[in-house]
Amino acid sequence: MKRIVLLVSMLFMVMQMSVASAADFWLKDESLGGVKLLMKTKQVIKQLGEPGKITQYSIDNPGWKTMMYSGLNVDLEEMCVECTGDDGVVLYIKSVSPEYKTAKGLAVGQKKAAIIKAMGEPDRVTIDKTRFIGHENYIYEANSMAGTLLFEINAKGIIQSISLYSGMG
C-alpha cells in the first residue's frame, strides 16, 4: 500500500512539473507587438517607444496603469511596496490593429483559418449571443496565471482583436 501511495505521489509531482514547464514555455515565447507578459515598463517603452497616453488608476487600484498606443493597449501593475512609477509589469495586452502581431505572426484582419494553422485547435471557443451576435472567441490557455491568448473573431471570420493576459492582476 505504501508503494502505491508513493508511486501516485511521484506521478502527481511529475505532472505538476510538466504543467509548470508548459507555463514557463508559454510566458517565455508568446508576445503581442513584441511585448511579453511580465515585461517591465522600461522594456515596453524600449520595444514600442513612448506611449501616446498613459492612464493611471489612482483610486481603484493605485498601482495599475494603461499605456496606450495607436491600436494597442498595455496594462501594467506595480507589484512593489515603494514603487517608482517604472516598476510595473505587463499583465494585459490588447491589439485592434494589424500592426501588432503575435509571436507566430497572427494579426488583426487575418482570417480565423490562419489561427488554426499557426496555433492548432483552441482550448476553448465561446460564441457571443448578446452584444456582438455571431462573434467567436478562440481561447488558448497555458493556465490562468501563465497566460491566455484570446482572438476575437467577427461574424465574417476575421480577427477583430487579440488579447494576451495573465491572471495575476
Q: Grid coordinates standing for 169?
A: 492582476
Q: Grid coordinates standing for 55?
A: 492612464
41 CB-near residues (< 8 Å, 6+ apart): 67, 76, 85, 86, 87, 88, 89
Give the residue ranges of the chain where pLDDT is below 50.
Answer: 1-27, 169
Task: Check residue 19 and give its pLDDT.
Answer: 36
Alpha-carbon distances, residue 75 vs 65, 71, 85, 124, 133 (angstroms): 6, 14, 13, 24, 27
Alpha-carbon distances, residue 16 vs 13, 39, 132, 137, 149 (angstroms): 5, 25, 38, 28, 22
**Tens of pLDDT, residues 44-64:** 999 999 999 988 876 666 678
- The length of the chain in residues reads 169
Task: Check residue 129 and give its pLDDT.
Answer: 72
Task: Check residue 16 and give its pLDDT.
Answer: 40
Task: Check residue 58 and give its pLDDT.
Answer: 63
Q: Which of 40, 88, 38 is nearest to 63 (CA)?
A: 88
> What are the domain boundaries of the chain?
25-165
Beta strands in the chain (DSSP E): 53-57, 64-69, 72-78, 88-95, 124-127, 136-143, 147-153, 159-165
The answer to whether residues 162 and 32 touch, using CB atoms and an 8 Å cutoff, is yes
Task: Check residue 72 and give its pLDDT.
Answer: 93
Tell me which H or E stretch contains 111. none
The answer to whether residues 90 and 72 touch, using CB atoms and an 8 Å cutoff, is no
Task: Check residue 56 and give its pLDDT.
Answer: 81
Task: Check residue 26 and give its pLDDT.
Answer: 47
Supply angle C-alpha 127, 34, 116, rounded to 5. Answer: 35
The answer to whether residues 152 and 161 touch, using CB atoms and an 8 Å cutoff, is yes
